[in-house]
Structure 1
Amino acid sequence: MNAMKAKNPFKTGSPAAALWAEIDPAALPRHVAIIMDGNGRWARRRHQPRMAGHRGGVRATREIVESCARIGLPVLTLYAFSLDNWKRPRAEVDFLMRLLRQYVRR
């Protein structure tokens, strides 16, 4: 990574700003890959429908993407939908595809 330490890209006083102050940008990877998994389990543990878990996953993904952009991460890969996911109930797959379209359009 380049010398990004000149300015903290996060809101002053936020947990992210405090963490950023402790990080050596030269030690950060150039590529991060994330396998997005567990939204349904997250929702079930909270006694919520799976769709609520998927919505929560979208919010978390947005935070990750925005944070990676702020710190200047050159490459971010998100694995969001496996072949096994196509075996889910049709209504859930349709919902996930709508969420993806909405996310990409923003």
Structure 2
Amino acid sequence: MSRFPTSRSTGDLEASFRVNVDKFVAALRKAGASVVISATKRPAERAYLMRQSWDISKGAVKPKDVPPRQGVAIEWDHGNDKASVDAAKAMLEGYGLAYRP
């Protein structure tokens, strides 16, 4: 899961959006909230891995039908559905996903 890391910095956001996010976070903290930013900008490759592993593990797509993505070397189809789904579930756990990305 260390490949294609997600940014946690508001500094990686588009400038005008970043200003609004920083103001919002500051207001929350001023009001006593504890703010933890888990992700601000996710590389497209990471989003692809997260989405496809979710869809395979939930039976929304067959591993053999997942389209390839340039720059992401992964074999979704492990030769049988159980092995493929098990691998996708392991990826979900690694990413800590609770909802479809």
TM-score, length-normalised on structure 2?
A: 0.27
In terms of fraction of residues, the more helix-rich structure is 1
TM-score, length-normalised on structure 1?
A: 0.26
In terms of fraction of residues, the more strand-rich structure is 1
